[in-house]
Structure 1
């Protein structure tokens, strides 16, 4: 914890008015953003696939975007969308 605090406050004077912003930006620089983006894209792709399989593609993407892998369970728990039969000619 001390190492994280030292990295967050590195080069920050606590008495300056923007100290909170600088500490926040230092912490955000420690986050592995590229890995998080790739994981989110994977969650969206699987959510779209599951949603397409259940007849709810947009819903699958939305739930996967909001809840990640838990959204997959939401999509799988919903009933399949029924396609109406074709009209007689």
Structure 2
């Protein structure tokens, strides 16, 4: 923890007005952005594959982009869609008048 604190406070005067932003920028410099980007791309690719398999490609991409691997379970929990499937047909309309 001391090493991280030293990296965050490197070159920062705690009494300066912009000290918060300098610490924030120092911490953002430590984050492995390249690895995070490629992990996110991998999550979306797997989410797209699962969504395609379940007939919900766009949902798979969106859930994986928003929630990462947790989005995979959201896609898997939803029922499969059948191609061309829609709501069941309505019953035929009958006359409201009853024969006497």
Instruction: Please list every run of 5 or more consecutive structure 1 residues that lacks an aligned counterpart in the other structure.
Output: none
State the alpha-carbon separation in 2 of the partners of residues 3 and 70 from structure 1.
Answer: 32
1:83 is aligned to 2:83: yes
SS of the counterpart of 2:27? helix
TM-score scaled by length of structure 1? 0.91
TM-score scaled by length of structure 2? 0.81
1:40 is aligned to 2:43: no
SS of the counterpart of 1:49? helix
Please show how residues 15-54 of structure 1 align to structure 2 within 5 Å.
15-54=15-54
Structure with the higher helix share, 1 or 2: 1
How many residue pairs align between the two structures?
85
SS of the counterpart of 1:21? helix
**Which residue number in structure 2 is paired with residue 5 of structure 1?**
5
- Residue 15 of structure 1 deviates from its aligned partner by 1.0
Structure showing greater Rg: 2
